[in-house]
Structure 1
């Protein structure tokens, strides 16, 4: 990647859970029966195309106004396959940004994966891998979940390491499933420790839907250390978060980064700000759930919204 003469000063790094972005075709290897044209949810090509357009519009505007650009790097969760990502980056609102993506199929039974979208003008992928989260039940059988995506690349020629996560859900109870998210945290931490042995002062970004809040044990005790900073700790309040469950806000969607993003060196990036992207157009406009994320489905009822999560982002300043 050659240096740019007129590089932008601010860059948005974001994460967005896209709420079951499935295509309309039957894949016999995953449990996608709920998202087919003849399913109870009536997931038709028209509805799929509408969701692709809406998500593209949301991503195109994601971030603070001063960035004047869509995210240069965007982690996503709940995507079925490469096809949906190709359709997304080719959609009307995103095509101009010339995104590419990294994606691996995970063993998750629901057939949903994580991925990384990036603007090729600003980010170059050097290497990537899918890191399995090895969980086992009491009988010793593998409990399959989403892999964590690891990507090393150059952001405006600066090497950075990015992790995209979607940790196990709380569906069977937060306490009962906590060990799964702790295992995911330990797995990511091990990889970070390895990178730090291989490189001097590496720049690291960990993003995802952790299904835990910033102060939850998995993150605070098993992932965080003095080398990492979580700006999302200050963003969760009684009145705001990235998702709302039974009237209470959570901030499961987070972006954590290494503390060397606070340093100032020429031709590197420094942390500028962090926020939840909860713009009015992404919210439910009226009724009981006013202000909540405007989701695509409520159970099996089609609402036609964007996602049941708000995106989150950090802004980096390029030090020229």
Structure 2
């Protein structure tokens, strides 16, 4: 897949709403997810294996590097959706962050501080200390409840517990409507895709249980599932366990729609390794967000955010995501993943 193909295919979508009557006006909300690639602070925490993080490998000017990393992440978050609705995302799921402090530094960066983002974060048992979290504009989204859901998986050789990321569930009001958001960072493919597959299947089962519990209370629950899944849309964890479908017409009452399946089948991805593209970063929704009624929140479109500055434009990794760290050094890049996003719309009353 060439960089030209990527740019042509996944430029930020201009929200024309041409399928709707021209005299209608809509409120647009961007919901995004971004793997922040090892957003660690500069302090060694003896309770975590953070000494192995790229930030701790920086030998000089570590504080300067940290501030630049924060600013680079803020730049990306400020830009997602900006061309469409002149605003940064209403809601952002993030992963590969060390603690709440780095998120506080992030939302207080000069590029984001005026958005007044709130933070929902729980410390998880991941051995390296990396967590997931949710950021939200306080004037737009009102959280009502949040909880963290652990994943118990074991090493396939010695059966020791593998400590990994929890899943975050946040329920709250957007445009006066109750929505539920699940933020994920499923187990990696360390040791190979096949060998590690049961771990991601187990993670998918946790997500499915959360969704089932929400739908048992209200079958019309509006649920958004997002994250770095370390699996593609066609892998067992997503396609079979979550039963996420590409075709909206095949989705049952409690089904899940995955718009990123089409992107993947068209050869697009959010991260690359050895010239192979993977679409690990995804956002999925339940059927009630697909209904035709535009007087309530409705899914419109999804995309992969690939601004030109997020991609290497020369050298060995030309066309790859412009990551922050390489060979123990800071590259002044961003992340080894592209962010993903979707638009929710609601018709304004006349």
- Distance (Å, rounded) in 1 between the aligned partners of 2:144 and 2:26: 22
Native 8 Å contact 2:82 2:88 kept in 1: no
- Superposition RMSD in Å: 1.8
8 Å Cα contact 1:72/1:123 also seen in 2: yes
Unpaired runs of 5+ in structure 2? 1-24, 245-250
- 1:101 is aligned to 119
Where does 1:9-20 land on structure 2 (aligned, <5 Å)? 9-20=27-38
Q: What's the offset of the Cα at 1:39? A: 3.3
Distance 1:37 1:168, change over 3 A: closer
Give the drift of 1:63: 2.2
**Contact 1:126/1:154, CA 8 A, preserved across alignment:** yes
Residue deviations 1:71-104 (CA, integer Å, cap 9, x gap): 0000000000000000000001000111001000
1:78 alignment counterpart? 96
- Of residues 120, 125, 133, the one that matches 2:138 is 120
Equivalent residue, structure 1, for 2:329 = 301
CA contact (8 A) 1:36 1:43 kept: no
Separation in 2 of the partners of 1:64 and 1:175? Answer: 39
Q: Is the 8 A contact 2:324 2:331 kept in 1?
A: yes
Contact 1:21 1:80 in 2 (8 A): yes
Whether the 8 Å contact between 2:54 and 2:328 is mirrored in structure 1 is no
- Where does 1:84-163 land on structure 2 (aligned, <5 Å)? 84-138=102-156, 139-163=158-182
Q: How many residues in Structure 1 have an aligned counterpart in Structure 2?
A: 314
CA contact (8 A) 1:112 1:146 kept: yes
Are the equivalent residues in 2 in contact too, given 1:34–1:41 (CA < 8 A)?
A: no
- Classify the secondary structure of the residue corresponding to 1:45: helix
d(CA) in 2 for partners of 1:216, 1:91: 37
The TM-score normalised by the length of structure 1 is: 0.93
Distance in 2 of aligned mates of 1:37 and 1:79 = 12
Which residue of 166, 186, 193 maps to 2:212?
Answer: 193
Which of these residues, 212, 220, 233, is aligned with residue 214 of structure 1? Answer: 233
Cα displacement string for residues 182-218 of structure 1 (whole angstroms, at most 9, x for unaligned residues): 0000111011111111114100000000000000011
Distance 1:91 1:168, change over 3 A: same
Cα 1:94–1:193, aligned 2, differ >3 Å: closer, same or farther?
A: same
CA distance in 2, matches of 1:290, 1:134: 39
Structure 2 vs 1, CA of residues 37 and 307 (structure 1 numbering), >3 Å: closer, same or farther?
Answer: closer
Q: Contact 2:96 / 2:132 at 8 angstroms: preserved in 1? A: yes
Q: Aligned-pair distance for 1:20? A: 0.2
Aligned to 1:317: 345
- Per the alignment, do residues 36 and 176 of structure 1 end up closer, same or farther by CA in structure 2, a change over 3 Å counting? closer
**After the TM superposition, which parts of structure 1 deviate over 6 Å for at least 4 consecutive aligned residues?**
none
Question: In 2, are the aligned partners of 1:35 and 1:43 still within 8 Å (CA)?
Answer: no
2:284 paired residue number: 256
Aligned in 2, Cα 1:115/1:37: closer, same or farther, shift over 3 Å? closer
Provide the C-alpha distance between the structure 1 equivalents of 2:56 and 2:144, rounded to a whole number of angstroms: 42
Question: Secondary structure in 2 aligned to 1:268?
Answer: coil
Gap change, CA 1:245 and 1:215, over 3 Å in 2: same
Partner of 1:3: none
Larger displacement relative to structure 2 (194-203 or 299-308): 299-308
1:28 aligned partner: 46
Q: Check conservation: 2:57, 2:328, Cα contact below 8 A.
A: no
1:99-142 superposed Cα distances (whole Å, 9 cap, x missing partner): 00100011000110000000011101100011001112344432
Aligned to 2:194: 175
Gaps of 5+ in 1: 1-6
Residue 66 of structure 1: which of 69, 80, 84 is its match? 84
Tell me what 2:268 maps to: 240
Q: So what's the TM-score if we normalise by structure 2?
A: 0.86
